[in-house]
Chain A
Amino acid sequence: MSRVTLMALQVLVAVVTLALWQVFSTVPVFGKVLLPPFFFSNPVDVFSQIVKWFSTGVIWKHLAITLWESILAFVIGSAGGILVGFWFAWQPRVAAVFDPYVKMVNALPRVVLAPIFALWFGLGVWSKVALGVTLVFFIVFFNVYQGVKEVPTTVLDNGRMLGMNERQLMRHVYWPSALSWMFSSLHTSVGFAVVGAVVGEYLGSAAGLGYLIQQAEGVFDVAGVFAGMFVLSAFVILIDMAVTAVEKRLLVWRPTAAARD
């Protein structure tokens, strides 16, 4: 399929969906509106809500807050994941001792932590960051741990035979390997940073996209809920595009990254 046809078809799906939504929520079929506006709103209302947010400028504050929380969660979670990942990989005994607890914490649905974090860190930015960190940390941690463990023995032996000491092995072999594993899960970890922020906002806050959706829901403003969802999707897609760009630059040495071009 050519690029143009593909694009056309993709746009067509959106247009048809929106058209059906608009028709079924406004025009009665056999005397009955299939999608009652109270529950489903309609595309025109949703769109005008989005336009209103942007024209009045209220949305920017919420977007900025959510973005800031996501960035903090990603940076702190990644730093922690890298540190602990390396530590565990270097110290198999430490890894063995902590293994069941790591699994236990990771198995916990993070949403249940939200109230605790709200208690500990208040309703501001940090309780959301904490939630995001618990999500990001484990992904980065598992990948860095793998990356350090899975360096091919021949490559490691080669480094040693070329005269590298432990510190140089770390810099030229373990670190690039761990980073490449971490970057291969960049989409997931960045996505989870956003999830942490939005879910945290939804469960209790005074700003952010999650807060916006929660507010609209609280007053049964379905158009507002949908509008929030659309803005959130667009926000996530933009971030994902940024991640793809970063990934392309950092992983040029990987066969898959180049073949994707």
Chain B
Amino acid sequence: MTEPTAVALDGATVAFRLADGRVYTAVEQANLAVDHGEFVAIVGPTGCGKSTLLNVTAGLLKPAAGTARIFDKPLNGLNRDAGYLFQADALFPWKTAIDNVAIGLEIRGTPRTEALARAQKWLTSVGLGAFAGRYPHMLSGGQRKRVALAQVLIRDPKILLMDEPFGPLDAQTRQIMGNLLLELWTADRKAVLFVTHDLEEAIALADRVVIMSAGPSARIIGDWPITLPRPRDIAEIRMEKDFHALHREIWGVLKDEVMKGYVQSTQAGAA
């Protein structure tokens, strides 16, 4: 049985109308396919349009040209199969950690006691079992990210969109969370689109690493299959020879784009 492709962006172009009336093309002609159960990491210089691509996949943003198909159906409105871990803080500030996690079940009609019990389990598995009663402002940036992760995962979405989920975490917690994510993903293979600025993390986690060029009109300029064996331990895998070879190869392409992206962003700032 062939599973339909989970996410298929075909020639997706995204343009924003700026306040002064000009049109800024952020992403141009992006083609991207994520198979059912596949883990794809997107890496690119800051401001190139990674979040924009996720927003298109989530159905929050309509591409100016091109199409987005989800499980072989054209995406119309919100992507109901996707769970989205946003780059910015998106927890409900007026709900405690546990209520934030339980809400996804409650609005589906799960009885509150059951929703809370399952939320507590999820909080425990992201290492925050003792923080259930805290409001988001009483949590650190990294703790908030982990609550947000539990909030998304508890709904068991078929597609997982993650925008720099481990951004504010320290190196050790990053590894713990990375391994946890791999563990969960191995147990229940979802299609994952994982945005990160950390190439090592991308290689360690993903089946494929996709590189974007610097904006404006950013394109997808590289697509590397990562054939490192699984199961992986993301701390140990960094020692492998194959890992280094892949890293060197991809970094060779990414480095130029990062420099370009940086120069462009400083010029845009000066203009």
Contacts and interface: CB of A to CB of B under 8 A. Distances in A.
A, B: real partners:
yes
Interface of A: 152, 154-155, 157-165, 168, 172-173, 176-177, 180, 252-255, 258
Q: Most chain-A CB neighbours within 10 Å: which of B94, B103, B107, B135?
A: B94
B107 A158 contact: no
Contacts of B91: 155, 158
Contacts of B212: none
B88 A154 contact: yes
A253 B95 contact: yes
A152 B136 CA distance: 15
9 contacts: A154-B86, A157-B86, A157-B90, A158-B90, A161-B84, A162-B151, A163-B80, A163-B104, A172-B95
Interface residues of B, number: 28
A155 B90 contact: yes
Nearest to B90: A158
Contact of A253 (B86, B104, B135, B151): B135
Contacts of B89: 154
B137 to A, nearest CB: 4
A258 B138 contact: yes
Shortest 8 CB-CB contacts between residues of A and residues of B: A158-B90, A253-B135, A176-B94, A255-B137, A161-B84, A154-B90, A154-B88, A162-B104
A255 B107 CA distance: 27
A152 B89 CA distance: 10
A162 B155 contact: yes
Contacts of A161: 58, 60, 78, 82-84
Contacts of B104: 162-163
Contacts of B92: 155, 158-159, 172-173, 176
Nearest to A179: B94
Interface string B84-114: 1010111111111000000110011000000
A57 to B, nearest CB: 45
B135 A172 contact: no
Nearest to B137: A255
A173 B90 CA distance: 11
Contacts of A252: 135
Contacts of A172: 92, 95, 103, 107
Given A159-B92, A163-B155, A172-B92, 13 more contacts: A152-B88, A154-B86, A154-B90, A155-B91, A161-B60, A161-B83, A163-B108, A173-B92, A176-B94, A253-B95, A253-B96, A253-B137, A255-B137
Nearest to B89: A154
A155 B100 CA distance: 11
A161 B161 CA distance: 11
B94 to A, nearest CB: 4
A162 B107 contact: yes
B6 to A, nearest CB: 16
Interface in B150-191: 151-152, 155
A84 to B, nearest CB: 23
Interface string B46-89: 00000000000010100000000000000000101011101011
A252 B138 CA distance: 10
A172 B83 CA distance: 18
